[in-house]
Amino acid sequence: MPDQLADEPLQVFLPGRMSLLVRLTVKEGMRAALLDALNTYTDQLAGEPGTEMFIVSVDPDSANNVWLYEIFKDEAAQEAHRSSSGFAELMNSMPPLLDGPPAVLRMDPLRMSLQEGVLAEDWSF
């Protein structure tokens, strides 16, 4: 008989965390270049332990929008993120790719539920 708890999602409350939802609008034909820059940055996130989640999403309805969802352990972690060398490199590489400044929405996340299978799947790129 399978363990019923193995099918339960991982649940965590997120007191003190802060998050950002960021819309990046790219110039026509520049989405692949922006995704390359974001993937390079994401590969360096081990150096930012306070950046607890960083999700890059493409907009299914617009080839010119890329969305980021970021969760930081706290305000200090978000400041460390903003002062990291990887973030500086990303910010220097983005202006020629973007059609305007990023749209940023700050949020305070309360709770997260994650299916454990997502962590076990091989997402190698």
Total domain count, the chain: 1
Q: Contact 73/17 with Cβ under 8 angstroms?
A: yes
Domain assignment present for 125 = no
Domain assignment present for 22 = yes
pTM, to two decimals: 0.86
- Residue 12, sorted as left (phi over 0), alpha (psi -120 to 50) or beta, turns out to be beta
| pLDDT of residue 90 exceeding 80 | yes
- Residue 100, sorted as left (phi over 0), alpha (psi -120 to 50) or beta, turns out to be left
| pLDDT of residue 120 exceeding 70 | yes
**What CATH number is attached to the domain comprising 84?**
3.30.70.100
Domain assignment present for 9 = no
Q: Supply the range of the domain harboring residue 55.
A: 15-108
CA distance 119 to 47: 20
Domain assignment present for 10 = no
